[in-house]
Copies of this chain bind each other. A is one copy, B any other.
Amino acid sequence: MARQKSEQVRQALLEAAQKLFVEKGYIATTIGSIARAAGTSQSNVYVYFTSKFEIAFAVFDPWLRSKVLDLEARVEAQDTPEARLRALIDGLIHGIAADRSGQTLTLVQALATAKAGDEYSPDLLLWTMSRIHQMIGTALPGSDPTEREALTHSLMLAFDGIALRQNLRRSEIEDSLSVDALYMMVQAIIRRDAGE
């Protein structure tokens, strides 16, 4: 009974947005530039998305999911529990939170500037946490469930910390020091569990 939204236009918008967000960050990217890069008009963007914030999430969501799935594969490919744990922490912190492509910067900026109506479902965060929880399970097979839970939370916390620091505080602190520290703490727990 009426004209339909074009999946092509939507995809073009998402691709243009992703490219520009990575290039210039969320804040410096304008709706007009996204529209121009996608070959449509500024106002037409709002036929496909209700806000700039929503676009940021639509871009970030699949990116993070694929990164987490990649990480999962890499963790499982390791032979020893210790190697798995190393791969998990390294991948999570260096590969995702501190990713060079600037996707997390986009998210942090979008969250920081979110207005009253800008909401998002917690699905992505919860999904990510559950995946990490599971990865810890494969890395530390015999571990106490409570402890596994605690590790998951600590890793998520570190993830957020790195994301904030990498993107907003830039070069003030050597991040590798923080990652080493984190790894040391996890090691301490493992060694304790092993009764060493």
Complex copy number for this chain: 2
CB of B162 within 8 A of CB of A157, answer yes
Residues of B within 8 A of A189 (CB): 184-185, 188
CB of B154 within 8 A of CB of A185, answer yes
The bracket for how many chain A residues form the interface is 35 or more
Q: Given A165-B157, A168-B108: A188 and B177 within 8 A (CB)?
A: no
- Of A159, A188, A189, chain B has the most CB atoms within 10 Å of the CB of A188
Residues of B within 8 A of A185 (CB): 150, 154, 185-186, 188-189
For residue A137, CB closer than 8 A to chain B, the reply is: no
- Of A147, A154, A157, chain B has the most CB atoms within 10 Å of the CB of A157
When chains A and B are docked, how far (Å) is the Cα of A182 from the Cα of B182?
10
Q: Given A154-B182, A177-B153, A181-B150: A112 and B161 within 8 A (CB)?
A: no
Identify which of B113, B181, B192 contacts A27 (C-beta below 8 A).
B113
CB of B150 within 8 A of CB of A160, answer no
Identify which of B157, B160, B168, B172 contacts A112 (C-beta below 8 A).
B168
For residue A11, CB closer than 8 A to chain B, the reply is: no
